[in-house]
Amino acid sequence: MKQMELLAPAGNAAAALAAFDAGADAVYAGLARFNARERSENFTPDTMARIVEYAHANGRKVYVTVNTVVKESELPDVAEYLALLAEIGPDALIVQDLGVLRMVRQCFPQLVIHGSTQMGFHNSAGLKIAAELGIRRVILERQVPFDELRAMRAAAPGMELEMFVHGALCCSLSGQCLFSSWHGGASGNRGRCKQPCRRRFFSRDGNGFFFSPQDLCMIDQLDEIAELGVASLKIEGRLRQPDYVRNVVSAYRMMLDAAPGEERRERLGEARNLLARTCGRRWSHGFYSAESTRTLISHDSIGAAGLLCGKVEEVRDNGFGFTTARKLHVGDRIRLQPASGDEGPAFTITRMFVRNRSETKAYPGETVFICCDKETPPRAMVFKIGESFEDYSGRIAALPAPRKALDLEIDCTESALKVRVVNAPVADWSQVWSLAAADRHALDEATLTEVFRAADSKVFRAGNIRCTIHGRWFCPAAELKRVRRAFWDFIKTELQPQAVFSDAAVGLERFRRLYQSITPVRVEPGSCPETVAVKPNGEQPGNRRAIRAVSVYDVGKLATEAILPEFCPEQKLDSLKKVIRIAYEQGLRRFRTPALFGLELLKPYRDVEITAGGALPICNSMAVAELAEHGVSKVLGHVELEKDALLALAAHSPLPVEQYRFGRPVLLVTRAKIPVEGLFRDARGNEYMARYDRLSGLTRIYPRRIVSVPRLPGMLDFYDITNANWDARDTATFNFETGLL
């Protein structure tokens, strides 16, 4: 268990320091843009560089999130962003967008890529395609239970896996939620989710919080997780404060370090007491077991996180009063939660009165008046969402300045060690030695890299290290440390920091050439018939020339394209492969995959046309170019995109781009048992439909209004009437006119 990495969230520098203090092996964090938690405080480039420097000096790691989808117009900004990160030198980037992934791999190869959970990897076919994409580690879809994870690991043993073990859960499959985006373009795929799933909804059978799952807590399942071969245990919570991070990390560190048997059992109660102070929702095992998945959503429990302290009884211009059911302290954070479930104001208590006297503490049963300038929702419930924590400002100000990274090529033979600095004008350094042949414990590249990474310098650090060892040799640890010190003494004497070459400039030039190498395809009007997704016995295309796309499970004589599912658990992969083969043997040569794992399943069929898109958001030409290298011949532009973003994508795309013109897009898809079926609405009067699919075991949420947008030049038409009628009158344009934020 100690070998599993403990990975903590860091929404700011204070949270990162709290995580490291509590025993985290690594943190994940983001800069101000292109990360899936843009609502958190996040890091400035300078603070990020200092946190990375601090982490590396203390044997810890930092992973930076660049895990949102990116529009065509934003690609130059992303390139600048990646160049900055290449200079900072984090241990990996967490990426969602295929275009960003391509840019990292082609232009900044020194950066390691972790595939975000937003990429939706949930079976071994997905893990195999992830390896081909250059992904070092996959952050698993959160809705993969243990039995499926075991089967995935057995079928694709080479990939490094990371899984969530604690924190808030999304109801939807990762990367497939458009619920927030439907309400004004605040997209979860862009880091701006407004969490409409936490609201109260209404149906003819009653009302409740139909899509608000309990929190995840796997503190009592770590032994079983260790047997799954998972590399990293991830704690959710970049929107949370340092007190939350400290307590959660401390609890999991305690359990990971405890000896198996009696000590671990004794520590479990203490760990749970720490977690009880984190002010979250009710704990669950998430989607990791069938039983937990069935009971994950309690529709009668409000979706707000925190410990309920009371209900507002009095409102004044300068604050509000209530009777508290819990101890409160100046410095605690609270949220005023409307009964609708909408997100209410959150703030830190800076001043409060008890019995008309200014106090720093209030005890259960006391009437408290809290001063604030926030608008107080009527009859709001008061939730404690955080405790007061120490002031980290002094430690943040004292974080070490970043050092210049030197990329090294190390060549080792029996008689000498040679080191070349790749990115600086300094002479090659060499050291004569004499090594004996190794019967056991031969010197390897990993050991040599780790030794030289420990730079004895306040100005320079090791960047990328590439080692070549000729033969099998034994080298004492003391000898390795001696030559390491000699090399860095040489560097401190012979090299000035301003002489180090910038990787950023090289990467930006690579991006310029890569972008210019894309040859846009021109789609002539009428050059390709429209595509219409249909059900076998549902409404049919009005155009006889239209491509009739049906589910691969429903292929009949009239079908001209087969649609693969967006989700396929490991146990059903063989069945899906079989129906693909049957469709191919029946003469079908067009396939549509809404997810990356479909590319792996279609590899055996070299003469097929593949369209990609749907649950896989395609927003820029770099993503299209990446898909083209994996056999894709056409793409569906992401349904979230606005008019200008679609036009820009089509103008630069190396493959034909379809436009989603008509249909009901899936707003949320989940394996959870949802306590509503059919029509329902929210407090604002927006209406939706919930439909359970027995074949897949998924519940999908659709808008009642049908998306209908005008044709754009240079794009192909895609219509989806699997859940829509041609004569629909109540239509919407989604983000087409208003824009995706």
Q: Which of 297-306, 454-463, 508-517, 604-613 has the lowest mean pLDDT?
A: 297-306
| Average pLDDT rounded to a whole number, residues 388-394 | 90
CATH number for the segment(s) 307-386: 2.40.30.10
Those residues whose C-beta lies under 8 Å from the C-beta of residue 165, and which sit 6 or more positions away, are: 216, 217, 218, 219, 221, 222, 225, 233, 234, 235, 252
- Residue-wise pLDDT tens digits, 328-383: 999 999 999 987 777 789 999 999 999 989 999 999 999 999 999 999 988 899 99
- Look at 303 and 437; give whichever has higher pLDDT: 437
Structure confidence at residue 464 (pLDDT): 85
Structure confidence at residue 262 (pLDDT): 87
Evaluate if residue 167 carries a pLDDT over 90. yes
Among residues 694, 700, 624, which one has the least CA distance to residue 665?
Answer: 700
Q: Would you say the pTM of this structure is higher than 0.85? A: yes
Say if residues 474 and 435 touch (Cβ distance below 8 Å).
yes
Evaluate if residue 280 carries a pLDDT over 90. no
Q: What is the largest CA-CA distance in the chain?
A: 84
- Residue-wise pLDDT tens digits, 466-511: 999 999 999 999 999 999 999 999 999 999 999 998 878 899 999 9
Q: Which string of b and e fits 629-647 if b means at least 16 CB within 10 Å? A: ebebebbbbbbbbbbebbb
Helix/strand/coil (H, E, C) string of 560-602? Answer: CEEECCCCCCHHHHHHHHHHHHHHHHCCCCEEEECCCHHHHHC
- Rounded mean pLDDT of the chain? 94
Say if residues 688 and 703 touch (Cβ distance below 8 Å).
yes
Among residues 646, 647, 626, 630, which one has the least CA distance to residue 638?
Answer: 646
Say if residues 549 and 159 touch (Cβ distance below 8 Å).
no
Structure confidence at residue 503 (pLDDT): 79
The domain made up of 5-171+214-288 is a member of CATH 3.20.20.70: yes
Evaluate if residue 577 carries a pLDDT over 90. yes
Q: Which one-letter DSSP state was computed for residue 35?
A: S
Structure confidence at residue 589 (pLDDT): 98
Q: What Cα–Cα distance (Å) separates residue 38 from each residue in 11, 175, 182, 312, 431?
A: 10, 16, 18, 30, 49
- Residue-wise pLDDT tens digits, 193-220: 999 999 999 999 899 999 999 999 999 9
**Alpha carbon distance 379, 315 (integer Å):** 9
Evaluate if residue 455 carries a pLDDT over 90. no
| Average pLDDT rounded to a whole number, residues 9-16 | 96
Reported for 678-683, long-range contacts at CB under 8 A and 24+ positions apart, including other chains, are 678/203, 678/204, 679/203, 679/204, 679/704, 680/201, 680/202, 680/203, 680/210, 681/201, 681/202, 681/203, 682/196, 682/199, 682/200, 682/201, 682/202, 683/199, 683/200, 683/202, 683/340, 683/342
Structure confidence at residue 300 (pLDDT): 85
| Average pLDDT rounded to a whole number, residues 408-424 | 96
| Average pLDDT rounded to a whole number, residues 36-64 | 91
| Structure-token pair, residue 254 | 């305690």
- List every span in the chain annotated with CATH 2.40.30.10: 307-386
Structure confidence at residue 702 (pLDDT): 98
Evaluate if residue 182 carries a pLDDT over 90. yes
CA-based torsion, 145, 151, 154, 157: positive or negative: negative
Structure confidence at residue 619 (pLDDT): 98
**Alpha carbon distance 385, 247 (integer Å):** 13
- Residue-wise pLDDT tens digits, 51-92: 999 999 999 999 999 999 999 999 999 999 999 999 999 999
Residue 660, SS3? strand
Task: Quickly count: other Cβ atoms within 10 Å of residue 140's Cβ.
Answer: 25
Among residues 146, 176, 175, 188, which one has the least CA distance to residue 163?
Answer: 146
Q: Nearest 5°: phi and psi at 701?
A: -110, 130
Structure confidence at residue 245 (pLDDT): 97
- List every span in the chain annotated with CATH 3.20.20.70: 5-171+214-288
Q: Which of 7-11, 120-124, 377-381, 396-400 has the lowest mean pLDDT?
A: 377-381
